């Protein structure tokens, strides 16, 4: 059996993949994540997941590699990782009382096999958020490294009225239902 490698340094993705109880390594894919001009959010997520998997597979030709990427959008506007408190406040203010769509892609590649992809769509309905609520949330959870400026696996869940998804793990960053299916197709023993 080939070694499994997660093309990510995200602790969130590593924690999710660990749920499948498969031994794996993590590697930094070191790819440019900027969108191409006019690139749709779903296309961007799929392209980046595949690019990450292929970048690590080029360095680890003996391994099966998983790449993943998540793109958040509100009214067609892509929302990246905020990086600053001010950007996080602006993102949450823009989504207050509205819906945002999170497209989470996974790609698996490995020795002698083409890249296989899957894409999960999650819709999040934010409750109306007061500026004090936003400031308090950002102070408590520091979601500056998360697309959309929240952590649904933590306190961020309190920002929502509803979440609609086929896979609850997708919103955290790795759709495990699709990942397990793609790994089973590669011969991994995932129940």
- State yes or no: is 69 an active-site residue: yes
Query: In whole angstroms, what is the distance from residue 61 CA to residue 77 CA?
Result: 37
CA-to-CA separations, 113 to 39, 47, 62, 175, in angstroms, rounded = 26, 17, 12, 21
25, 30, 69, 161: the catalytic one is: 69
Give the three-class secondary structure for 187: coil
Contact 49, 69 (CB under 8 A): yes
> Which of 42, 10, 64 shows the shortest CA–CA distance to 118?
42
Token couple for 176: 């495990």
What positions carry a catalytic annotation?
Answer: 69
């Amino acid at each position: 059996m080939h070694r499994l490698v997660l093309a990510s340094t995200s602790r969130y993705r590593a924690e999710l993949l660990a749920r499948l109880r498969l031994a794996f390594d993590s590697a930094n894919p070191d790819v440019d994540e900027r969108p191409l001009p006019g690139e749709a959010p779903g296309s961007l997520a799929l392209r980046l997941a595949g690019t990450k998997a292929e970048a690590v597979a080029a360095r680890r030709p003996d391994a099966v590699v998983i790449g993943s990427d998540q793109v958040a959008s509100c009214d067609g506007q892509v929302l990246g990782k905020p990086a600053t408190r001010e950007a996080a406040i602006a993102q949450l203010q823009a989504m207050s009382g509205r819906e945002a769509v999170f497209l989470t892609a996974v790609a698996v590649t490995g020795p002698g096999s083409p890249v296989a992809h899957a894409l999960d769509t999650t819709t999040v309905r934010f409750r109306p958020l007061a500026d004090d609520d936003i400031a308090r949330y950002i102070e408590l959870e520091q979601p500056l490294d998360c697309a959309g400026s929240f952590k649904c696996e933590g306190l961020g869940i309190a920002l929502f009225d509803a979440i609609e998804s086929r896979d609850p793990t997708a919103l955290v960053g790795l759709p495990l239902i699709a990942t397990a299916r793609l790994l089973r197709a590669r011969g991994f023993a995932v129940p």
